[in-house]
Structure 1
Amino acid sequence: MSSPLVDELQRLDLQHNQWRLTLDGRLYIAPIPDPLPPGYEVLDIGIGTGLWAIEFADEHRNAVVTGVGLSPVQPSFVPPNCHFVVDDIEYDWVYDKQFDYIHGRFLSMGIRDWRRVFQQSFDTLKPGGWVEYQEAEPIFTANPSSPKPNLEMAALSDDVQEAATRIGVDIRQAHGWKGAIERAGFINHTLLHTRWPLGPWSKDPKEQAIGKMNQRNILNGIEGLTLAYLVRIRGDPAEEVRQRLERVRAEMKDPDVHMYMDLYVHVAHTPA
């Protein structure tokens, strides 16, 4: 039976599969050993449904995967080398071990102090350990060749960004993390920049597939992603916001409105 929670968990799993398609089937791009040595410690922060951690543990039986998140919504049946912890990564990280690899994904709408996250990642890694942040800037931009502008989505993106800044969250900063990551002590930083179209308008077959998935993802998730910012923080009337989101959804379905979202994967490691 469907429910708002079930629908959201399914949306997050769809989003996970978008990432896998983006990375050509991979879960990560960091050059960690293959095969992994026995007891390779992995920390996944902001786990969502836990699917990334579960699949990593399935594919790397030598790994010991710890997933950390705010909500205990992960399945109880998981690989024996995977377990989950309910915790808030914005507070002090307290673990009885250090890790070889840390992975985080899609956290930009909830983290206030990324410099602290970078520093705690560095302090929690073993010498030579790798970190990988797979992040999006959840702002949709009209493609230069779009037959029509994305007026409704552009205005909504601006208002969500403005609301986020009121609580200290910058949702448009992922592109510029290199300096902060290096100041935390990491070296050999690399950056992958890609995009997710919204809808199947791209001529590239891979982007078309991603665009179809992304359209479904955002159509199903846009209310949950924006309502709290606009109603609770800005004070906009809930019914007006819902009417506005209907106009945004109509624009998203318009085949003549071509827009996309930027994604960034930051990879670096600690000195050996």
Structure 2
Amino acid sequence: MEHIPVDPDFYLEIGANTALDFQSETTSLASSIAKGRFENGRRYQATKDEEYWGPSDEKQFEAFEIGHMVFLVLDHYQDNPLFRAPIKNLPKHILDIGTGQGSWAIDVADMYPSATVRGVDLFPPPVTWMPPNCIFEVDDVLREWTWREPFDFIHIRLMYGAFAPEGWDQLYKQAYAALEPGAWIEQMEFDVRVRSDDMTLKEEHQLSKWGNIFIRCAERAGRSLNIHETMRNSIEKAGFVEIHEKKSRVPLGAWPRDKLLKETGRLQWAHWNAALEGWAMWLLTHFGEPIPWTTEEVQVFLAKVRQELKDPHIHGYNWINRVWARKPTEGESSKERGY
């Protein structure tokens, strides 16, 4: 697995390479990554033969940033709102898998200036500045890992639909092998289904149908959007111990009375509005039911969803699940890993 480092001048440097550099395999790959592939007006990653359902463009990076703010507000009462794993005070190496726009990696690099924080994804984040101890790399984490130093902490967030079940097993296995004994892994994922406890979300609402439609689309694509339900068992299967799990409701809209939840709901509403098309377009135009949808059909559907998002009488929310676990120390007994 070749890591392609990304710096703030990444895009400029591609165009400024000399003719000799342009012939190199790395430059060719970097150019391909920068261009991406375009479909229905959205840009997707271009480093794998197998297509990924989520876009990697300015619209979706904006949604990622708002999503990051949702998590910070939701956990603002925590001493550390960025993660729950009790990692040691002076970590040396931290890995953020699926770094997206890079906000989590940058924040953690600021928190631990003596640590090296690596953010890896299939597409370079649109950063203009980052701490000197933060490194962004373009890579496929299902290939063999070649980082030499073991990690003190591995973080994964909002990677639902990224891999088939066997891909997730492989990822957890590689993460286990790459961690220091006693180090931690943490993952946080959404349930894509919208729910309500007071019957304000009706069966006829598009928001009520939303999650199950996409769960079925993803299954036809050979991926799962239900990783929030399976990650605990998969992490345990990989050999991790001292497993913790925390489930929380994230309101969709400013309907809660509680001031904090109201602010969280406002941000989640903005998150959805920014992300809707990116979440829906590829899955519906490739794996929609009963047959793949046209771009126009997707846009009509999204217009109805956006209209419902404006309705203050719909008290919807999503579940979010967080799991953190520790790699056993040397000599510590652990369960059979199952590999």
TM-score by length of 1: 0.92
Is 2:86 the partner of 1:31? yes
**Counterpart for residue 104 of structure 1:** 156
Q: How much is the aligned-residue C-alpha RMSD, in angstroms?
A: 1.7
Structure 1: how far apart are the matches of 2:74 and 2:159?
Answer: 18
User: Given the alignment, which residue of 168, 178, 183 partners 1:114?
Assistant: 168
User: Given the alignment, which residue of 310, 313, 320 partners 1:253?
Assistant: 310
Structure 2: how far apart are the matches of 1:188 and 1:103?
Answer: 16
Structure 2: how far apart are the matches of 1:84 and 1:213?
Answer: 26
Structure 2: how far apart are the matches of 1:133 and 1:186?
Answer: 13
Structure 1: how far apart are the matches of 2:149 and 2:314?
Answer: 49
SS of 2:110 mapped into structure 1: helix
Q: Write the letter of the residue equivalent to 2:75.
A: L
SS of 1:42 mapped into structure 2: strand
**CA contact under 8 A between 2:105 and 2:117: conserved in structure 1?**
yes
**CA contact under 8 A between 1:146 and 1:256: conserved in structure 2?**
no
**CA contact under 8 A between 2:95 and 2:118: conserved in structure 1?**
yes
Q: Deviations over 1:46-104 (max 9, x none)?
A: 00011111111111112111111111124152111111110112333222221110001
Structure number with higher strand proportion: 1
Is 2:67 the partner of 1:15? yes
Runs of 4 or more consecutive aligned structure 1 residues displaced over 3 Å after TM superposition: none
User: Given the alignment, which residue of 42, 48, 56 partners 2:94?
Assistant: 42
SS of 1:139 mapped into structure 2: coil
Is 2:218 the partner of 1:168? no
Q: Write the letter of the residue equivalent to 1:94.
A: T
Is 2:285 the partner of 1:231? yes
1:156 shift after superposition: 2.5
SS of 2:191 mapped into structure 1: strand
Structure 1: how far apart are the matches of 2:140 and 2:121?
Answer: 6
Structure 2: how far apart are the matches of 1:72 and 1:194?
Answer: 30
Structure 2: how far apart are the matches of 1:147 and 1:136?
Answer: 21
**Counterpart for residue 134 of structure 2:** 82
**CA contact under 8 A between 1:146 and 1:259: conserved in structure 2?**
no
What 5-or-longer segments of structure 1 have no aligned partner? none
* Residues 125-136 of structure 1 mapped to structure 2, 5 A cutoff: 125-136=179-190
SS of 2:193 mapped into structure 1: strand
Larger Rg: 2
Is 2:267 the partner of 1:216? no
Q: Write the letter of the residue equivalent to 1:251.
A: E
The change in CA–CA distance for 1:216 and 1:68 in structure 2 (over 3 A counts) is same
Q: Write the letter of the residue equivalent to 2:144.
A: D
SS of 2:251 mapped into structure 1: strand
**CA contact under 8 A between 1:48 and 1:74: conserved in structure 2?**
no
**Counterpart for residue 242 of structure 1:** 299
What 5-or-longer segments of structure 2 have no aligned partner? 1-40, 43-56, 330-339
What percentage of residue pairs aligned between the two structures are identical?
29
**CA contact under 8 A between 2:281 and 2:298: conserved in structure 1?**
yes
**Counterpart for residue 271 of structure 1:** 328
User: Given the alignment, which residue of 252, 269, 290 partners 1:198?
Assistant: 252
SS of 1:140 mapped into structure 2: coil
1:165 shift after superposition: 0.3
* Greater relative contact order, per chain length (Cα 8 Å cut-off, separation 6+): 1
